C-alpha cells in the first residue's frame, strides 16, 4: 500500500476545456523548441508544453535557445521547464536560474534512455537508484515553491523499483507525473505497458499523464479508459499529425473530429519551413532539419512509403518542395491517415536506444 501524499496539492494550470482530460506535448530534444511550439499552437495547442531538457552539470548554464521557448512563448499555453542531471547543488542552482523566467513549473527527466546519458546516472539511469531519487526529488521539491513535476519510465531494465519510486513521488508531493510506459532498456519499440501507467494513476495522489505510442485521438480515449490517467502526453505522433490535440479535444467532447487532407499537410510543411527558417541557417541544414520532421509525417501519407522514399533523397529546398507537391497535391483532397500506415517506420528511427536524445541519433 503506497501512502498518499502528505502535502497539500497545488492547482495545475487550467486546461483548454474544463472537465476534459489534460493533454501535453512530450518534451523532445531538437524538436519542441519555440518554432515547433508555435506551429503546434497554430493547429491546436496541447494544454501544456514541456521544454527540451536543460542539461545540468557543474559548468552548465540554462541553454539560451531553450530559454527562448520560455521567454518568447506566445502560444497562450503554459510551458514547464525540464531538467536532466543529478548533482544536487547544480540542479538547485539551475532551478533558481529558471524560476526567473515564466515557467509553469519545473520538470525532472527520469527517463532518457540514451546510454551516454544513463551511464552518468541521470535521466533513465536514476531509475536504478531509489535512494538517490529520494534525495534528489526531496531537494528539488524544497527548491521549487510552485509546481514540481516528474517524467519517468517504468524502470531501468526491470520494473522492480517502480512502486518504490511511485511512493517517493507521493512522499515528496510531486504535482504531476508523466509516465512513459516502457523501461529504459525497452527503448521505443516494445509494447507500451499501459497497465503500469494504470498503477501510477491509481496510487499517485496527483494527476498522471499517460505517455507512449498515443497515435490518435481514438487511441488517447482508449488509453485513458484503460489507465484512468488524468490526461495524455503525446510526442512523435504530434510531429506526424499536428492536429492531434485539437482532435483529442473534439473526441473528448463527442463532437465531429477534424480529418486533415494531404493539402492540409502540404500547408503544415510550408509553415514548419517558415517557422524553422533563421537568417543564418544554410539551405542544406534547413532541408536536413525538415527531413527529420517529415520522417514522421510520411508515416501517414501513403501505405507504400513512396513519399518517404522520395523525400529522403531531396537535397535542396526546391527538390524537397517538389517532392511534397507531387505526393501531397496530386490528390489534395485525400485523407491524411489517422494512424501511421503499418510497417512504415520513421527514420532516423526513434526505436533503438543510441547515443543521444535527439532526432539525429534518437532515443529518449
Ligand atoms: C526526438 C526525441 C527527443 C526526445 N527528447 C526528450 C527529452 O528531451 N526529454 C524527455 O523527457 N523525453 C524525451 N523524449 C521522449 C518523449 O518525451 C516521449 O516520452 C517518447 O517519445 C514516447 O512518447 P511518444 O510515443 O508519444 O513519442 C524524446 C523523444 C524523441 C522521439
Judgement on whether residues 167 and 148 belong to the same structural domain of the protein? yes
From the list 253, 242, 233, the residue with the least C-alpha distance to 300 is 242
Judgement on whether residues 197 and 298 belong to the same structural domain of the protein? no
Give 16's contacts (C-beta < 8 A, 6+ positions apart): 45, 47, 249
Q: Please check if 277 is assigned to a binding site.
A: no
For residue 223, being part of any structural domain is answered with yes
Judgement on whether residues 237 and 268 belong to the same structural domain of the protein? no
Q: Quote the percentage of the chain above a pLDDT of 90.
A: 90
Protein residue whose Cα sits closest to atom 5 of ligand 1: 28
Judgement on whether residues 267 and 236 belong to the same structural domain of the protein? no
- The best mutation among 23, 24, 26, 52 to test binding of ligand 1, ranked by most ligand atoms within 8 Å of the C-beta, falls on 26
Three-state DSSP class for 231? strand
Q: Please check if 237 is assigned to a binding site.
A: no
CA of residue 107 to ligand 1 center, whole Å: 14
**pLDDT at position 360 over 80:** no
Point out the domain boundary residue: 202, 222, 252. 252
Protein residue whose Cα sits closest to atom 14 of ligand 1: 364
Under the banding of pLDDT at 50, 70 and 90, the label for residue 352 is: very low
For residue 3, being part of any structural domain is answered with no
For residue 16, being part of any structural domain is answered with no
Report ipTM for this prediction: 0.99
pTM given for the model:
0.95
Protein residue whose Cα sits closest to atom 30 of ligand 1: 28
Helical (H) or strand (E) element with 109? strand 105-110
Judgement on whether residues 267 and 158 belong to the same structural domain of the protein? no
Ligand 1 atom at minimal distance to the Cα of residue 213: 25
Ligand 1 atom at minimal distance to the Cα of residue 123: 11
Please tell me the distance from the alpha carbon of residue 276 to that of residue 161, in angstroms, as a whole number: 41
- The best mutation among 33, 46, 364 to test binding of ligand 1, ranked by most ligand atoms within 8 Å of the C-beta, falls on 364
Q: Please check if 59 is assigned to a binding site.
A: no
Tens digit of pLDDT for each residue in 20-49? 999 999 999 999 999 999 999 999 999 999
Point out the domain boundary residue: 212, 234, 252. 252
CB 279 within 8 A of CB 296: no
CA of residue 113 to ligand 1 center, whole Å: 10
CA of residue 29 to ligand 1 center, whole Å: 7
CA of residue 279 to ligand 1 center, whole Å: 28
Identified catalytic residue from 112, 324, 350, 357: 112
Please tell me the distance from the alpha carbon of residue 169 to that of residue 204, in angstroms, as a whole number: 7
For residue 274, being part of any structural domain is answered with yes
Judgement on whether residues 229 and 267 belong to the same structural domain of the protein? no
pLDDT at 348: 54
Judgement on whether residues 204 and 305 belong to the same structural domain of the protein? no
For residue 92, being part of any structural domain is answered with yes
Mean per-residue pLDDT, 149-163:
98
Instruction: Answer yes or no: 350 catalytic.
Output: no
Side-chain-side CA neighbours of 339 within 13 Å: the count stands at 8
Q: Please check if 235 is assigned to a binding site.
A: yes
Tens digit of pLDDT for each residue in 284-342? 999 999 999 999 999 999 999 999 999 999 999 999 999 999 999 999 999 999 999 99
CA of residue 361 to ligand 1 center, whole Å: 12
Boundaries of domain holding 276: 262-328
Judgement on whether residues 189 and 309 belong to the same structural domain of the protein? no
Start-to-end CA distance of the chain, whole Å, equals 31
Structure-model confidence comparison of residues 220 and 116, the more confident one = 220
CA of residue 333 to ligand 1 center, whole Å: 32
Q: Is the peptide bond before 348 cis (omega within 30 degrees of 0)?
A: yes
For residue 9, being part of any structural domain is answered with no
For residue 354, being part of any structural domain is answered with no
Judgement on whether residues 114 and 43 belong to the same structural domain of the protein? yes
CATH of the domain at 217: 3.20.20.70
Tens digit of pLDDT for each residue in 46-76? 999 999 999 999 999 999 999 999 999 999 9
Judgement on whether residues 202 and 105 belong to the same structural domain of the protein? yes
Q: Please check if 180 is assigned to a binding site.
A: yes
Distance of CA 183 to the CA centre of its chain: 16
From the list 199, 191, 223, 222, the residue with the least C-alpha distance to 210 is 223
For residue 286, being part of any structural domain is answered with yes
- The best mutation among 23, 24, 28 to test binding of ligand 1, ranked by most ligand atoms within 8 Å of the C-beta, falls on 28
Cell of 68: 527562448
Judgement on whether residues 155 and 197 belong to the same structural domain of the protein? yes
| Ligand 1-lining residues (CB < 6 angstroms) | 26-29, 31, 52-53, 82, 109, 111-112, 151, 180, 211-214, 234-237, 350, 357-359, 362, 364
Point out the domain boundary residue: 252, 286, 317. 252
| Domain count along the chain | 2
Please tell me the distance from the alpha carbon of residue 293 to that of residue 187, in angstroms, as a whole number: 20
Judgement on whether residues 158 and 125 belong to the same structural domain of the protein? yes
Amino acid at each position: 500500500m503506497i501512502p498518499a501524499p502528505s502535502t497539500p496539492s497545488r492547482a495545475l494550470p487550467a486546461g483548454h476545456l474544463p472537465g476534459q482530460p489534460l493533454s501535453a506535448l512530450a518534451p523532445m530534444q531538437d524538436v519542441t523548441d519555440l518554432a515547433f511550439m508555435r506551429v503546434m499552437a497554430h493547429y491546436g495547442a496541447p494544454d501544456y508544453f514541456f521544454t527540451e531538457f536543460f542539461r545540468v552539470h557543474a559548468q552548465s548554464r540554462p541553454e539560451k535557445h531553450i530559454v527562448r521557448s520560455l521567454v518568447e512563448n506566445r502560444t497562450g499555453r503554459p510551458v514547464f521547464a525540464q531538467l536532466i542531471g543529478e548533482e544536487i547543488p547544480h540542479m538547485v542552482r539551475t532551478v533558481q536560474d529558471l524560476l526567473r523566467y515564466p515557467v509553469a513549473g519545473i520538470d525532472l527527466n527520469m527517463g532518457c534512455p540514451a546510454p551516454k546519458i544513463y551511464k552518468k546516472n541521470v535521466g533513465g539511469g536514476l531509475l536504478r537508484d531509489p535512494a538517490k531519487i529520494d534525495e534528489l526529488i526531496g531537494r528539488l521539491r524544497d527548491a521549487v515553491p510552485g509546481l514540481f513535476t516528474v517524467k519517468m519510465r517504468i524502470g531501468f531494465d526491470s520494473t522492480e523499483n517502480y512502486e518504490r519510486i511511485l511512493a517517493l513521488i507521493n512522499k515528496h508531493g510531486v504535482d504531476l507525473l508523466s509516465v512513459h510506459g516502457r523501461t529504459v532498456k525497452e527503448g521505443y519499440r516494445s509494447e507500451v505497458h499501459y497497465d503500469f501507467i494504470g498503477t501510477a494513476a491509481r496510487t499517485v495522489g496527483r494527476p498522471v499523464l499517460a505517455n507512449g505510442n498515443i497515435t490518435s485521438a481514438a487511441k488517447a480515449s482508449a488509453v485513458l479508459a484503460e489507465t484512468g490517467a488524468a490526461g495524455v502526453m503525446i510526442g512523435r505522433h504530434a510531429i506526424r499529425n499536428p492536429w492531434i490535440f485539437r482532435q483529442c479535444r473534439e473526441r473528448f467532447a463527442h463532437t465531429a473530429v477534424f480529418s486533415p487532407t494531404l493539402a492540409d499537410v502540404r500547408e503544415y510543411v510550408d509553415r514548419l519551413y517558415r517557422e524553422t527558417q533563421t537568417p543564418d541557417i544554410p539551405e542544406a541544414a534547413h532541408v536536413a532539419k525538415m527531413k527529420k520532421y517529415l520522417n514522421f509525417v510520411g508515416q501517414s501519407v501513403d501505405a507504400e512509403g513512396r513519399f518517404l522514399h522520395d523525400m529522403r533523397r531531396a537535397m535542396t529546398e526546391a527538390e524537397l518542395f517538389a517532392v511534397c507537391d507531387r505526393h501531397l497535391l496530386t490528390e489534395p483532397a485525400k485523407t491524411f491517415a489517422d494512424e501511421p500506415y503499418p510497417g512504415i517506420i520513421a527514420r532516423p528511427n526513434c526505436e533503438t536506444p543510441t547515443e543521444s536524445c535527439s532526432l539525429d541519433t534518437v532515443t529518449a
